[in-house]
Amino acid sequence: MSKKNNKLEAINLNAYYGDFLALKNINVAMEENLVTAFIGPSGCGKSTFLRTLNRMNDYVDGFRIEGQILLDDQDIYKKEVRVDELRKQVGMVFQKPNPFPKTIYENVIYGLKIQGINDKNLLQETAEKTLRQTTLWDEVKDKLHKSALALSGGQQQRLCIARALAISPSVVLMDEPTSALDPISTAKIEELIYELKKDYTIIIVTHNMQQAGRVSDHTAFFYMGELVEFAKTKTLFTSPKDTRTQNYITGRFG
């Protein structure tokens, strides 16, 4: 992997919840315009790691890190970094669709609105663009001003992706984005991920190894807070180097 394509990079990263060491000496680089998947059993630290990448763990009492996380070679935990600026760069989609109890349109433009952008044309263009990107436009164009809570789960999740894209991030973090969805909605989101990687760097946490196999270029296997193995997805699934990886992907635990 050539260094210059690294979008996000963790260097000697330790993370703690109070005294508990949740991530142990993680060193990994995520390349630009690729999909990187994090897999591993529950509690292995993969979600914790994902949430350190946009500093969502800042709100957790007792959470702290050692080491560095570089976004475009800049340490995102440096004092002068503003969290809101970081999150404009690094968007996030959650496990359970979490549309705001507002209209579809208001959901999409929320990120722009709180930046103080009020230009109606710009807001409308962005809304249409991102809803098209997420293939939601045709389904919702007649009810943009109806409540987002009336959408189906899969539509809600695509809306949440559109909402994240509207502030033009360069990285999109996805925390088990399809675990609450039916197979058809899941397929749509996976197709979407495939489309999106042309323009974005995507990092996805998943419990579903088939999904990791289908959507990702690189896969990282986490176990008990350690990054056990990181490789091209195909390599990791066909010839894992570590026995723990092998045991996990063959379904012996997890």
Partner 1 sequence: MTNSDRNRLKDKAFQVFGIFCTFIGLAVLAIFLIDILIDGLGRINWEFLNNLPSRRAHRAGIYTAWIGTLWILLMTTVIAFPLGIAAGIYLEEYGKKSRMATLLEINIANLAGVPSIIYGLLGLEIFVRLMALGGSLLAGALTLSLLILPIVIVTTREAIKAVPRSIRDGSFALGASKWQTVWHQVLPASFGGILTGVILALSRAVGEAAPLIVIGALAYVPFAPASPMDEFTVLPIQIFNWISRPQAAFTTNAAAAIIVLLFITFILNGIAVYLRHKWQKRIKW
Q: Does 101 bind partner 1 (CB under 8 A)?
A: yes
CB of 198 to partner 1, least distance (A): 22
Integer CA distances (angstroms), 30 to 50, 51, 65, 133, 235, in order: 12, 15, 19, 23, 16
Number of residues lying near partner 1 (CB under 8 A):
29
Q: Does 158 bind partner 1 (CB under 8 A)?
A: no
Q: Does 160 bind partner 1 (CB under 8 A)?
A: yes
Integer CA distances (angstroms), 112 to 74, 89, 106, 144, in order: 24, 13, 10, 17
Q: Does 123 bind partner 1 (CB under 8 A)?
A: no
Q: Which of 16, 17, 94, 137 binds partner 1 (CB under 8 A)?
A: 94
CB of 146 to partner 1, least distance (A): 12
Q: Does 111 bind partner 1 (CB under 8 A)?
A: yes
Q: Which of 2, 42, 59, 198 binds partner 1 (CB under 8 A)?
A: 59
**CB proximity list for 172: less than 8 A, separation 6 or greater:** 90, 91, 92, 93, 161, 164, 165, 196, 200, 201, 202, 203
Q: Cα angle vertex 30, ends 178, 251, to 5°?
A: 50
Residue with smaller CB distance to partner 1, 56 or 69: 56
* Choices 16-24, 81-89, 198-206, 216-224 (CB under 8 A): range interacting with partner 1: 81-89
* Choices 95-103, 124-132, 187-195, 204-212 (CB under 8 A): range interacting with partner 1: 95-103
Q: Which of 4, 19, 42, 61 binds partner 1 (CB under 8 A)?
A: 61
CB of 185 to partner 1, least distance (A): 18
Contact positions with partner 1 (CB under 8 A) in 7-26? none
Q: Which of 149, 180, 187, 231 binds partner 1 (CB under 8 A)?
A: 149
Chain center to CA of 220: 14
Q: Does 91 bind partner 1 (CB under 8 A)?
A: yes
Q: Does 163 bind partner 1 (CB under 8 A)?
A: yes
Where do contacts with partner 1 occur on this chain (CB under 8 A)? Answer: 54, 56, 59, 61, 83-85, 87-88, 91-92, 94, 96, 98-102, 110-111, 113-115, 147, 149, 160, 163-164, 167
